[in-house]
């Protein structure tokens, strides 16, 4: 754990709270490692029956930290910590609830395709500007987004790079409930605790049947990462990414 990711277990719920408001909850390699370790521990612990991922009031996450993006560009590949985190999420046998208030960018949006229940505030926004940056999508979203939203809406989000507001995300099936901002955490916690209170083996069995074989998602994450790295080596992507980094300073 570090001060930028708060991890706690209560009433069967393993909560991971992203807590870096001074950087709009941007995720660093170290934060990915902390979350991966917390998820791995919770997956193996009989005390944990459900995961809850939250940000801070007003921001879920602005995506990958710009310094990490700079490192990706310099090395021509996406970081191992991010890939490990995404694979860890993909292979969880226990349900994942996400509570989103405010901005959700990049991996903050694509992560939701791997969540099982999503609560969002009425003023939350969702975007996945990978193509705008000359890059490939992540988190298995190139596979999961068309499955969940249909090809046309997935294209709108991932290729056109359109920002979805909470109602658009709800209509597209990315979000289960849209609630007032002050109720996001309360409702997210209540949903996670309701899941945790159910017979755990029955929940796991139902989830496995609904999800099917997750190997295809892991393979897609690997393929996306390979394409991400390949595109990073192109001058166009480097220029677009550098321009984004400069704007983010």
User: Are the beta carbons of 124 and 177 closer than 8 angstroms?
Assistant: no
18, containing H or E segment? strand 13-18
pLDDT, position 233: 75
229-242 mean pLDDT: 73
226, containing H or E segment? helix 215-232
Alpha carbons within 13 angstroms on the beta-carbon side of residue 189 total: 12
Give helix then strand counts, H and E, for the chain. Answer: 11, 10
Band (pLDDT 50/70/90 cuts) for residue 58 is very high
Helix axes 235-248, 215-232, angle to 10 degrees: 90
pLDDT, position 248: 56
pTM: predicted TM-score of the whole model, two decimal places = 0.90
| Between residues 42 and 69, the one the model is more confident about | 42
Q: What is the mean pLDDT of the chain?
A: 90
Q: Give the C-alpha distances (Å, rounded to integers) separating 108 from 186, 196, 202, 210.
A: 20, 24, 29, 23
34-43 mean pLDDT: 96
58-86 mean pLDDT: 83
Query: Does pLDDT of 1 surpass 50?
Result: no
> pLDDT tens across 123-136, in order?
999 999 888 888 88
pLDDT, position 227: 86
Band (pLDDT 50/70/90 cuts) for residue 84 is very high
Band (pLDDT 50/70/90 cuts) for residue 245 is low
């Amino acid at each position: 754990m570090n001060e930028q990711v708060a991890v706690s277990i209560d009433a069967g719920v393993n909560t991971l709270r992203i807590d870096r408001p001074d950087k709009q909850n941007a995720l660093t390699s170290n934060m990915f490692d902390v979350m991966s370790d917390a998820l791995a521990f919770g997956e193996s612990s009989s005390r944990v029956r459900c995961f809850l991922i939250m940000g801070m009031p007003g921001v879920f996450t602005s995506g990958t930290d710009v310094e990490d993006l700079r490192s990706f560009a310099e090395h021509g590949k996406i970081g191992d910590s991010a890939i490990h985190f995404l694979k860890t999420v993909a292979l969880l046998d226990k349900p994942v609830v996400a509570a989103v208030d405010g901005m959700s960018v990049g991996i903050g949006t694509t992560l939701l395709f791997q969540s099982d229940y999503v609560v969002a505030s009425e003023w939350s926004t969702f975007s996945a500007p990978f193509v705008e940056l000359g890059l490939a999508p992540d988190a298995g979203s190139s596979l999961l987004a068309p499955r969940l939203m249909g090809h046309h809406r997935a294209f709108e989000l991932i290729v056109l790079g359109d920002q979805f507001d909470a109602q658009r995300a709800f209509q597209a099936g990315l979000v289960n409930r849209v609630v007032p901002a002050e109720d996001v955490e309360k409702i997210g916690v209540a949903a996670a605790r309701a899941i945790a209170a159910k017979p755990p083996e029955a929940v796991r069995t139902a989830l496995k049947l609904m999800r099917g074989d997750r190997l295809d998602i892991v393979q897609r994450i690997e393929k996306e990462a390979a394409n991400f790295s390949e595109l990073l080596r192109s001058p166009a992507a480097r220029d677009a990414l550098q321009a984004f980094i400069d704007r983010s300073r």
